[in-house]
Amino acid sequence: MSELLDNLKHKLQQQLEVIYDGITLNRSYDKLSDELIALMRLNDEIQQPGFFQNNWDEGDVILITYGDSVIRDNEHPLKTLRKFMDKYFGNTINSVHILPFFPYSSDDGFSVIDYSSVNEALGDWKDIENIAGDRRLMADLVINHCSSRSAWFQNFIRGEGPGSDYFFTASPDDDLSQVVRPRTSPLLRETETARGLEHVWCTFSHDQVDFDFRNPDVLLAFVSIIRQYLDSGVRIFRMDAVAFLWKIVGTTSINLMQTHEIIRLLRSLIEHAQPDAVIITETNIPNTQNLTYFGNANEAHAIYNFSLPPLLVNTLITGNCLYLKRWLMSMPPAQNGTTYFNFIASHDGIGLRPAEGLLSDEEISTLINTMKQFGGRISWRTTESGEQKAYEMNIALFDALQGTTAGPDKWGLERFICAHAIMLGLEGIPGIYIHSMLGTANDYEKLKNTHHNRAINRKRWDYDMLTMELGSKFNHHQKVLNRMKQLIDIRTRQKAFHPNAIQFTLHLGLQLFGFWRQSMDRRQSIFCISNITDEPQILRMGELNLTVTDTWRDLITDTKISDPMEEVTLQPYQTVWLANS
């Protein structure tokens, strides 16, 4: 055994001891670590990880899309998606997150029936591999739960075969009062099995049955899945709902120590198999809890910046950046080997839990009411005390930014572009939902047909219809696409926009939101300043202390700054990126 492999095995054994402490297993830690190494084929193909290595740069932008967000008659959607991305995004966007592309029974893919197959309605593994050959591919590891229609759960009901002991059960008499829930449905699902009536733990819905990671066979099953995904070209793993992975009756059953250790163990395996692979944890929880998933640069490479969407939308509808600025000042810079995953729209809604402690109850109430005025819907959760509380706002971002708290206005497009200009400048890797690239509005028809609030922002475009829309100068879809591509093309050429480049928050009042970025070689500086109001605002350049010996230029308008001490008027929702090179 090589020294590298020997060291990895020792590390895995230590991690397994932490995870399964107090649990009687049917094999030794030595045996279990050997099984994990064999499943990942590390006996033959082990590689040296690049510790504290940034596997990303300023050129990385991730498109978020369903496999069938764009469809065409008589063509597999994954083929259509690839053609669409090639035609309209080209080299502008180099990475893509295809949301769950597996057979599923509900939740638009997140109730997985079979992790090893591609949904036949979308295409096959060859289609996935072709996309991975063009762009860096991000895929979901739906690790907390699977479909109640899966073979594993059917074996659980029968009491035999793989899956028969994969699922977490509890008793209705257990103390479950502290369990943190993201939904209002009952936690336990009654299920008749060969052993009698069982009560299966369901964090999200009764069609999404939770795994029991106390059984090491569950861990082995997911390591096998990870190996398959790596072989098919996946290089970024989105660990879905991972905060809920480990359960202990009588606790909150969220963010438990064992959950963090499992992430560390999976990272140990992945980075020795594919050193440039990236793990992103999806943990829609309060900001301080979310930050813990960096660990000591040994857990997630990146974490979803869940607080950004509600804070940024709140800023732009109120014309006041106090809360956004306060939050940005509190965010620790990500150390090398870690970064933030920034987004402001996704297939889900705008989460409100990440705004807890950052926005007051009054601010959240105003935000909710404004989104409802713009056609949005609200999803609810049950708190530990049994109270119903708003969990998420479901609305297309284009509609969410159509106006202010005073109502709709003429500045919707500019406000929408301003939101993305801010996001694209921030420390971290930007992720952009396909419907934000297209300026897609609320899909009330899909909402009506499915009765699921999240469907409002999950439109399925017909390829030919969309091509016609994007070919017209007279609608907003083409305008949005062109302006978004312009911003991205500018961003990806700037060293100061590296995800780990230095960032400081500027103090320019409450109507101008600004921050400063500096490249890691300290050669390039960019001042990112946005007017977040519907009135013109004066930017006094002298307050920025621009180095007078440098030549300064606004990258967005390609305009030279003739006098670094002058006053400049920023039009409503205008952003400038002032760079010295």
Annotated binding-site ranges for substrate: 107, 145, 238-240, 347-348, 454
Asked if residue 110 lies in contact with residue 140, where contact means CB atoms within 8 angstroms, the answer is yes
Return the bridge partners of 340, or none: 303
Residues with Cβ within 8 Å of 105's Cβ and at least 6 positions away in sequence, in order, are 111, 113, 147, 148, 149, 207
Give the integer Cα–Cα distance in Å for 492 and 120: 35
DSSP secondary structure letters along 99-168: ---S-BSSGGGTSBS-TTS--TTT--HHHHHHHHHHSEEEEEEE-SEEETTSHHHHHHHHT-STTTT-B-
Binding-site annotation, residues: 107, 145, 238-240, 347-348, 454
Cα(49)–Cα(69) distance, rounded to whole angstroms?
36
H or E element at residue 525: strand 525-531
Q: Return d(Cα 299, Cα 323) in angstroms, integer.
A: 29
Which tokens in the block code for residue 39? 């499943």
410 contacts: CB under 8 Å, gap ≥ 6: none
Q: Among 267, 259, 197, which Cα is nearest to 237's?
A: 267
What are the DSSP calls for 64-102, one per residue?
Answer: EE-TTSEEBTTB-HHHHHHHHHHHHTTTS--EEEE---S
Q: Which of 60, 127, 240, 443 is catalytic?
A: 240
The residue among 470, 308, 486, 464 whose CA lies nearest residue 397 is: 308
Measured CA to CA, the distance from residue 120 to residue 229 in angstroms comes to: 17
**CA nearest 282: which of 351, 382, 195, 190?**
351
The SS3 call for residue 296 is: coil
Residues in the chain: 581
Instruction: Tell me which DSSP letter residue 408 carries.
Output: E
Tokens matching residue 289: 């809890």
Cα 467 from Cα 349, distance rounded (Å): 26
User: What is the crossing angle of helices 3-19 and 257-273, to 10°?
Assistant: 160
Question: Does 173 qualify as catalytic in the annotation?
Answer: no
| Residues involved in catalysis | 240
